Chain A
């Protein structure tokens, strides 16, 4: 089963 990553795991909030 593939787990869907979210963008916050890679990019920081400004």
Chain B
């Protein structure tokens, strides 16, 4: 028996909105530790890694490890039926081929449930080694989304370069070039507005705008985003989900041929 209750169903809806651009379907691995998902986009350039801890749920029970393959478009349809303030309870029997989502309104005056068919998906998991990153940038997630959106107008790639002076985002294309430089700023009153850089050595890497733009769909999940970079290693873009876990995106760099 699997049962997970989340008072803020909107958090799960935000997670779905953040990954549906990249993934059509995905397997949710449920265990006593929580719910995990790891899946690559169809071109194997980026990877989504979701970790929702069991103790972040308002109720969590998983008697037997369970992998639930879901079509994310269908899952999106189910969550479209929920109210913004609803509580969601996910339930599945052991070896079940369906999962049930029950939505309860805040006042408990409306309860709806939707049963969705599960899928058998070929799971491809990648082993991601622990990496000593050359630089770790933490910045407001809204600012990151804005910069990626703005620079995407100039070219298909964005160069992210980080030095002790700050971080620079650059793009160039037919119409010209764009550069955005951010210096470190410590705002002790509003931590979420700070830009912080933990630098071991300067690094500059090039990434496809299309994927960076998709990652920023996770902006509503977190005030801050963490970018971890290292030469010859994919970029890690991490959004902390308060009290529940994190959503990470991995993106292979572009390299000179």
Chain A residues, Cβ within 8 Å of B126? 7-8, 11-14
Checking B47, B127, B233, B254 against A4 with a beta-carbon cut-off of 8 angstroms, the contacting residue is: B254
Query: Quick one: CB contact mask for B31-58 with A, threshold 8 Å, 1 for yes?
Result: 0000000001001111100000000000
Task: Please give the number of chain B residues whose Cβ is less than 8 angstroms from any Cβ of chain A in the complex.
Answer: 25
Let me know if B125 and A13 touch, CB within 8 A: yes
Let me know if B254 and A11 touch, CB within 8 A: no
Chain A residues, Cβ within 8 Å of B233? 10
**CA of A11 to CA of B43 in the docked complex: distance in angstroms?**
15
Give B17 Cβ to nearest chain A Cβ, in Å: 23
- In the complex, which residue of chain B has the Cβ closest to the Cβ of A11? B126
Let me know if B257 and A1 touch, CB within 8 A: yes
**CA of A12 to CA of B250 in the docked complex: distance in angstroms?**
14
Does B206 count as interface, using CB distance less than 8 angstroms? yes
Chain A residues, Cβ within 8 Å of B69? none
Contacts A12-B126, A13-B124 given: A5-B252 contact, CB under 8 Å? yes
Let me know if B255 and A3 touch, CB within 8 A: yes
Does B224 count as interface, using CB distance less than 8 angstroms? no
**CA of A1 to CA of B47 in the docked complex: distance in angstroms?**
24
Query: Quick one: CB contact mask for B241-257 with A, threshold 8 Å, 1 for yes?
Result: 00000000010111111
Give A7 Cβ to nearest chain B Cβ, in Å: 5
Contacts A2-B206, A13-B127, A14-B127 given: A7-B157 contact, CB under 8 Å? no
**CA of A12 to CA of B256 in the docked complex: distance in angstroms?**
22
Let me know if B45 and A6 touch, CB within 8 A: yes
**CA of A6 to CA of B126 in the docked complex: distance in angstroms?**
12
- In the complex, which residue of chain B has the Cβ closest to the Cβ of A14? B125
Give A5 Cβ to nearest chain B Cβ, in Å: 4
What are 25 A-B contacts with C-beta separation under 8 Å? Answer: A2-B255, A2-B256, A3-B256, A3-B257, A4-B45, A4-B208, A4-B252, A4-B254, A5-B253, A6-B43, A6-B44, A6-B45, A7-B44, A7-B46, A7-B126, A7-B234, A9-B252, A10-B232, A10-B234, A11-B127, A12-B126, A13-B124, A13-B127, A14-B125, A14-B126
Given contacts A7-B40, A8-B44, 11 further A-B contacts (CB under 8 A): A2-B254, A3-B255, A3-B256, A4-B208, A4-B254, A5-B253, A6-B44, A6-B45, A8-B126, A11-B127, A14-B125
9 tightest Cβ-Cβ pairs between the two chains A and B: A2-B254, A5-B252, A11-B126, A3-B257, A14-B125, A6-B44, A12-B127, A14-B127, A7-B252
Seen from chain B, the residues whose Cβ lies within 8 Å of a Cβ on chain A are: 40, 43-47, 124-129, 157, 206, 208, 232-234, 250, 252-257
